[in-house]
Amino acid sequence: MPKPFASSADLAEKRATLEHLADGVVAYTAEGDPNVGAIVGTEAIVAIEARATPLMARRWIDVLRSEVSDLPFGDLVLTHYHAVRTLGASAFAARRIVAHANTKALIDERGMEDWASEQGRMPRLFAGAETIPGLTHPTDTFDDTFDLDLGHRRVELRHLGRGHTSGDIVVWLPDERILFAGDLVEAQAAPYMGDSYPGAWSTTTDRKSVV
C-alpha cells in the first residue's frame, strides 16, 4: 500500500534509516519523507538535497558526522525546487549550491509562495522553521550536464528532461552505478503533481543514456 506523505494531520515522527549504498555513498530515508544523500570525496562531501529547515538538516549532518565522515561540504546539490527539499541549505555551509537553471528560475518566480504553501501543508517536515534564514539560491546552475570532481570518484549531474518539475536533475555515479533520482522516482508514495509535466515525465524516466 502507498504510504501517505506528510500533511497537516500527519504529525507522528518517522523512523529514519541510514543506508550505505557503496563505500562513502549513503542515503538517509524516513518512511516516505523526502530522502537525502551524500557522497564522500577525498577532500569534501557532496550533499544531495537540504531538507526543509536548518534544524532538520543538522539532524542529518549529525548522522553523517557520527557514522560517515567529518569532511567539509564542498557541494550541495538540489535535484529540483520544492521548499521542503531546499530551505535547510544554510546548515551545510557548502562552497557551492548546484541546481538546474530552471530550478533557480522557479525559486526566483515563486519561492516565497511555495515556502508558505508547503510549511502550511506539511508542518512536521518544517521543525525548526524559525531557523530558516530565507530562500535558498543556487550559486551554480546548468542546462544539460555538470560534472563534479571528488578526487577519486566521478559524479555526473544530468538533466534528462521535464518530469516532477521543469528542473529535475539526477546524480549519477558511473563507476558504482548508483543513481540519485530526486522525485522523478517515488517508492510506495504517490508523487506530488502540482508542478509536473505528466506527458514528459514517462519519457524522461525512460531515458537510458546515463546508465
What pTM does this model have?
0.86
Q: How far apart are CA 113 and CA 78, in angstroms?
A: 19
What are the pLDDT digits (tens) for 131-156? 999 999 999 999 999 999 899 899 99
Q: What is the reported pLDDT for 48? A: 97
Query: CATH: 3.40.50.300, 3.60.15.10, 3.40.50.10420, 3.30.499.10. Which one for 17-206?
Result: 3.60.15.10
pLDDT tens-digit profile of 9-26?
555 677 788 999 999 999
Give me the pLDDT at residue 201, please.
46
Dihedral class, residue 70 (left if φ above 0, else alpha if ψ from -120 to 50, else beta): alpha
List, for residues 53-77, the tens digit of each pLDDT value: 999 999 999 999 999 999 999 999 9
- pLDDT greater at residue 5 or residue 195: 195
In the chain, where are the structural domains located? Answer: 17-206
